[in-house]
């Protein structure tokens, strides 16, 4: 097999999907920032999830995996070639062919199989995205926005990661841009992105999504001690609040800082100073999420997880729900 190494600039990013989409668009000549991709796609969200598929209840802070690419494509008129496969062999052949044709290609994978990451970070989550930009007989060259340098991943390992089953199974999902519009209407795309984000946060009629999801989280977190195996498990689950908010590819403050950055950049594009003021408010909301995450990490480490402390944590989260309800209602009025 001929080895291929396409020229591709590796950059770390806050989040894997927005980072991957941004890197591919930048590579194709479209100079968009990660916050703009996130904001135009209406990525900001909240959901409190509990299911047999999950070992413990968890919360999400962004829209469904895959939505960023779909929405950015629809709102800016970008065309991606996207494929999923039934057979792993066909999926691998299509990836090799895309590389031979000179396309750095994004693939959806189970994060657990990314061997270049430290073992303690690797968990089974099927919603991770990386860019493959080269191959030789035994491995692929990959750019993972969570890792500081380019890496090599064994061919079979990548195949396993692309065809892992389970929740949100990737089914070999891969994509790369094939058409970039010359003059996209950024102002319109920003407006739609903000409106959809506000709708998702305020008006989805589902009791565990959007602002209602934040309240559900606040209501349910006090029940976590009953769900945990023991004190150490509870401590681990509570400390993960910090990881979900800060460390797991959010840009800090549970994506709220990235969204504030989007609003600031959007204010410059649409020449609307009111968005600048909203971005400052969003930054403050991010600061408060950050306080929650620090508080959770501290009480988790100290095993200070009695009913009073959990109620205190719940109170902080309830206050965030009220803040976000107020914020998104005001933002909705601005863009309607």
Partner 1 sequence: MTFEFILFRNQFIFVSPKMQLLSKNVVPMKEKEIKVNSKKHEVILFVEKEDESYAPVQSGSYIAEHYLDDWLGKRENLEKDLKEQLQKGLISPVYYYMVYQDMGPGDLAKRMGISKRKLKKHFRPEVFGKLCQALLEKYAVVFGVDYKEFGINR
- Please report, as ranges, the residues that interact with partner 1 according to CB under 8 A: 12-14, 34-35, 51-55, 112-113, 118, 120-121, 123-124, 145-146, 148, 160, 164-167, 169, 232-233, 235-236, 239, 242-243, 246-247, 249, 251-253, 257-258, 260-261, 264, 279, 283-284, 286-288, 290-291, 294-295, 297-298, 300-301, 308-309, 311-312, 315-316, 318-319
Q: Which residues contact 217 (CB under 8 A, 6 or more apart)?
A: 46, 48, 59, 317
Closest distance of CB 4 from partner 1, Å: 27
Q: Which is nearer to partner 1, 179 or 301 (CB)?
A: 301
How many angstroms separate the CA atoms of 73 and 78, rounded? 4
Task: Give the H/E segment covering residue 140.
Answer: strand 139-143
When the beta carbons of 9 and 284 are compared against partner 1, the nearer one is 284
- Nearer to partner 1 by Cβ, of 178 and 231: the residue is 231
Residues making up the chain, counted from first to last: 336
HSE, side-chain direction, 13 A CA sphere, residue 269: 19
Cβ distance 105 to 131 under 8 Å? Answer: yes
Spatial separation of the C-alpha atoms in residues 56 and 300, rounded to whole Å: 16
Which residue's CB is nearer to partner 1, number 1 or number 120?
120
Cβ nearer to partner 1, comparing 142 with 234: 234
186 or 294: whose CB is closer to partner 1?
Answer: 294
The residues near 314 (Cβ < 8 Å, ≥ 6 apart) are 218, 219, 221, 222
- Rounded Cα gap, residues 336 and 331, in angstroms: 9
Residue nearer to partner 1 on the CB measure, 257 or 327: 257
Q: How far is the CB of 118 from partner 1 (least distance, A)?
A: 7
Q: Which burial class, exposed, middle or buried, applies to 2 when counting CB atoms under 10 A from its CB (0-12, 13-18, 19+)?
A: exposed
Beta carbon of residue 192, minimum distance to partner 1 (angstroms, whole number): 22
Which residue, 82 or 219, has its beta carbon nearer to partner 1? 219
* C-alpha gyration radius of the chain: 20
Shortest distance (Å) from residue 103 CB to partner 1: 25
The secondary structure element, H or E, covering residue 82 is: strand 79-83
**Tokens, residue 302:** 């100290």
**Closest CB to partner 1 among 12 and 187?**
12
CA gap 107, 155 in Å, rounded: 13
**DSSP annotation of 121:** G
Query: Could you please report the per-residue DSSP string of 31-65?
Result: ---HHHHHHHTT-EEEEEE--TTSSS-EEEEEPPT
Q: How far is the CB of 51 from partner 1 (least distance, A)?
A: 7
Shortest gap between Cβ of 44 and partner 1 (angstroms)? Answer: 13
For residue 222, the surrounding DSSP H or E stretch is: none
């Amino acid at each position: 097999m001929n080895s291929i190494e396409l020229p591709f600039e590796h950059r770390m990013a806050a989040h894997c999907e927005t980072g991957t989409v941004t890197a591919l668009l930048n590579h194709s000549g479209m100079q968009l920032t990660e916050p703009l991709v996130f904001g135009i796609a209406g990525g900001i969200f909240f959901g409190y999830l509990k299911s047999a598929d999950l070992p413990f209840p968890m919360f999400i802070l962004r829209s469904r995996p895959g939505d960023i690419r779909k929405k950015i494509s629809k709102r800016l008129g970008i065309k991606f070639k996207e494929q999923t496969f039934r057979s792993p062999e066909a999926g691998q052949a299509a990836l090799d062919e895309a590389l031979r044709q000179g396309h750095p290609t994004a693939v959806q994978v189970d994060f657990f199989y990314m061997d270049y990451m430290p073992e303690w970070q690797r968990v089974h989550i099927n919603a991770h995205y990386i860019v493959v930009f080269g191959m030789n007989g035994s491995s692929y060259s990959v750019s993972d926005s969570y890792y500081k340098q380019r890496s090599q991943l064994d061919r079979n390992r990548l195949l396993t990661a692309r065809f892992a089953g389970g929740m949100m199974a990737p089914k070999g999902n891969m994509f790369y841009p094939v058409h970039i519009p010359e003059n996209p209407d950024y102002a319109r795309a920003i407006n739609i992105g903000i409106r959809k984000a506000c709708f998702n946060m305020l008006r989805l009629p589902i009791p565990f999504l959007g602002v209602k999801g934040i309240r559900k989280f606040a209501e349910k977190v006090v029940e976590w001690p009953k769900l945990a195996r023991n004190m150490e498990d509870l401590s681990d689950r509570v400390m993960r609040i910090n990881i979900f908010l800060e460390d797991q590819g959010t840009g800090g403050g549970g994506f709220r800082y990235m969204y504030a950055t989007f609003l600031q950049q959007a204010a410059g594009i649409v020449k609307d100073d009111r968005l600048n003021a909203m971005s400052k408010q969003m930054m403050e909301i991010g600061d408060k999420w950050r306080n929650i995450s620090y508080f959770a990490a501290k009480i988790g480490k100290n095993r200070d997880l009695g009913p009073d402390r959990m109620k205190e944590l719940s109170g902080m989260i309830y206050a965030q729900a009220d803040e976000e309800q107020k914020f998104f209602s005001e933002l909705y009025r601005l863009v309607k």
